[in-house]
Amino acid sequence: MPELPEVETVRRGLMELIGKEILAVELNRADLRYPFPEDMDAIAGRKIIAIDRRAKYLLIRLENDLTWLAHLGMTGRFGKTLEGKHDHVVIDFVDGSRLVYTDPRRFGIMDLIHGGNEHKLLNHLGPEPFGSEWNGTILHSSLQGRNISIKSALLDQKIVVGIGNIYASEILFRAGVSPNRLAKNISKKKAECIYNETQNVLCAAIEAGGSTLRDGQFKQIDGNLGYFPHEFAVYDREGESCTSVECTNFIQRVVQSGRSTFYCSQCQS
């Protein structure tokens, strides 16, 4: 499932569309996770003026205060050419170029916001990891009294948005914090450390174009893969040697809330 670095990678890839005018939109089915908005055609005849991101939602800003909201779900991706039967949305631009939304599992979401930024899916989201409304102190206070593991807390989109299974494992390894530790027992110093490693991991992942896993689902707009898996310290490395220089331990996998977590029990406490 795409996490913040993958969505941000897609956003950056879509930036080349700014200034282009949409000629026509073709929907090849009635719905993705939800039905398409009835007036999806309203995007035609407008130029793309900006492309923003909030959590894992892409906000494609069009002329006359219309925003096209898109979420990639589990397997959604944007590309420039037709791929086959999972191409659900095809956008043709006046200049002859094309944008295709492909989504085999159809958990993606598309909607329109007529004026402003208010949308039910955006209203209850927590702070952005790179925003000024989040830091180690705020993270620490949001963990107070929480009887859940720190791994589960990092996946809670009210605590911070955009972190999923891959990056939570990587952040906690780099911070030296066990994923099993209860959120309420994270010290202020450790919360600061988790905050810093969140910045480091997410920045490095965006720099690498995100993470394409073995399922091959995630691709950049131009079809390139995301190369961050080459830098995974723990994710999907069960049974392999720990990458810390002085550690002779092996990476372990535990299941938390039905999701795999990878960690080193020597390096993380």
- Catalytic residue numbers, as ranges: 2-3, 56, 259
- 6 token code pair: 């993958």
Nearest approach, Cβ of 269 to Zn ion (angstroms)?
11
E strand or H helix that includes residue 165: helix 165-175
Binding segment toward Zn ion, per CB under 5 A, in 86-94, 177-185, 219-227, 242-250: 242-250
With CB under 5 A as the contact rule, the residue among 28, 95, 247, 269 that binds Zn ion is 247
HSE of 116 in the Cβ direction (CA atoms, 13 Å)? Answer: 5
Ranges of beta strands (E only) in the chain are 22-27, 48-54, 57-62, 66-71, 77-79, 87-93, 98-102, 109-114, 252-256, 259-263
Q: Considering only residues 181-240, where is the footprint of Zn ion by CB under 5 A?
A: none
Task: Judge contact between 136 and 175, C-beta under 8 A.
Answer: no
Regarding 51 and contact with Zn ion (CB under 5 A), the answer is no
Binding segment toward Zn ion, per CB under 5 A, in 97-105, 152-160, 162-170, 244-252: 244-252
With CB under 5 A as the contact rule, the residue among 64, 141, 249, 257 that binds Zn ion is 249
> Which residues, in sequence order, are CB contacts of 156 under 8 Å at separation 6+?
126, 148
Count the site residues for Zn ion by CB under 5 A: 7
With CB under 5 A as the contact rule, the residue among 244, 254, 256, 259 that binds Zn ion is 244
Contact set with Zn ion (CB under 5 A): 242, 244, 247, 249, 264, 266-267
